[in-house]
Amino acid sequence: MAGQRIAARAAACATVTVLTVTAGAVARADDDFASLPAQQIADRSRDALLGVRSLHLRARGDLGRGRDAMTVDLSLDRDGNCAGSVDLGGDKGAVRIVKRGDAVWVKPDADFWKNQVPVGGTTFDSVLAGRYLKGEASDSRLRPVVDVCDLDTFRELVSDNADRADGTLTKGTVTTLDGVRTVPVTRDARGQRVTAYVDTGGAHHPVRLTVRGGGADAAVDFSGFDEPVPTATPAADDTVDVSALLGRTPAPS
């Protein structure tokens, strides 16, 4: 379904911003973390991110792709479970997403149906009447949602792009974000500045990324490392089967 693909791509755009700063080989040192060179801090942050079993991410702002500022708020794990929402901004609509095991639920709002599915969208919205659209993870119409809900997909993006970083990497002074002591490392490349605020304690996860320049003005917050994804799923009487609504022939993948 076209609207679901748009929502999934929006979430993917948010997660990919991490790639431009957390690239390189992993380094280890016993000295004070904040005193390490910028590259070693970035390396440890990338390693920590690749090691998590689950996380929560919240992205907001304009990622420089010609769209309104959007918000992505998702909890996801390496077993493919996911829960959260994507708001495309500018009254273009929002979608609630839940994936548990092999089942996927999506709940587009009225603005989403109207703007992202102009042919028949209002009819779909009327039929659903505020309920979730439910399908199987193997359904090609839901594949974009399934992919973005899998933390392993995100980890593969980080790994595949580990050697693509360029530009200049610098370290800033220690700062506190939401009670967490962090050290910022910034990469300037091709007119864009990406800053990762890395936790100076624990496993040294990145807790915030900001993207400025090149048409982008956005931030991505990471939290809930290794915490379980919420297990609640929509009730049966609050769902409509995707095949009953869209027909029984899967769309091309």
- pLDDT attached to residue 110: 92
Residue 252 lies in a domain: no
Residue 232 lies in a domain: yes
Regions in the chain scoring below 50 on pLDDT: 6, 13, 16-20, 23-31, 248-253
Around Cβ 66, how many Cβ atoms within 10 Å? Answer: 7
Give the CATH number, domain containing residue 160: 2.50.20.20
Q: Which of 44, 22, 21 is nearest to 33 (CA)?
A: 44
Residue 251 lies in a domain: no
Q: What is the extent of the structural domain holding 103?
A: 2-243
- 3-state DSSP assignment of residue 131: coil
- pLDDT attached to residue 147: 76
Residue 249 lies in a domain: no
Residue 253 lies in a domain: no
- Give dist(CA 108, CA 104) in Å, integer: 13
Are 86 and 92 in contact by the 8 Å Cβ rule? The answer is no
pTM here is: 0.81
Residue 213 lies in a domain: yes
- Give dist(CA 95, CA 109) in Å, integer: 6
- pLDDT attached to residue 159: 61
Based on the structure, what is the number of domains in the chain?
Answer: 1
